[in-house]
Amino acid sequence: MERLEHEGGGAAFDARRATLAGLPPVERTVADGTLHETRRFRGLSREQAIGYLTHLGGTRRDAHTVTGDGWEATLTARKVPVGPSYRLTEVTISWVGDRAVLEDVILHFRLKAFRAPG
């Protein structure tokens, strides 16, 4: 998996991480070391999200699923209104997997999506 520390790390990493900490998930549960987390991302296509997940070590299983070592992500997409006349694509990702592995995958995905144009 890509390591963010190789992309500058330090204060820039800490600032991005702090910003993301203020954006809670739609749903999050942990039971017996298994994490279930759902997040929504606007301005990102499902194909872009799948590309980010494969870059982070996942393998595309089908049009809606990416699996990695110890985790799986299921993606859906829909158009949502932003104001009276504009619509954005919103991708919802539901992850499930080993908490120790998945926490890092989700953080790195969020940092990639946070930098994405849109």
pLDDT at 82: 87
Biggest CA-to-CA distance, the chain = 45
pLDDT at 80: 93
pLDDT at 24: 75
Q: Is the Cβ–Cβ distance between 100 and 5 less than 8 Å?
A: no
Q: Is the Cβ–Cβ distance between 56 and 1 less than 8 Å?
A: yes
The ranges of the chain with pLDDT < 70 are: 1-9, 12-22, 115-118
Q: Is the Cβ–Cβ distance between 67 and 59 less than 8 Å?
A: yes
Q: Point out which residues pair with 37 in neighbouring strands.
A: 28, 95
* Helix, coil or strand: residue 13: helix
The verdict on pTM exceeding 0.85 is no
pLDDT at 69: 96
User: pLDDT digit string (tens) for 85-115?
Assistant: 999 999 999 999 999 999 999 999 998 887 6
83: number of CA atoms within 13 Å, CB side? 3
Task: Report d(CA 31, CA 89) in Å as an integer.
Answer: 31
Domains and CATH numbers, the chain: 4-115 (3.30.1370.80)
pLDDT at 75: 98
pLDDT at 25: 87
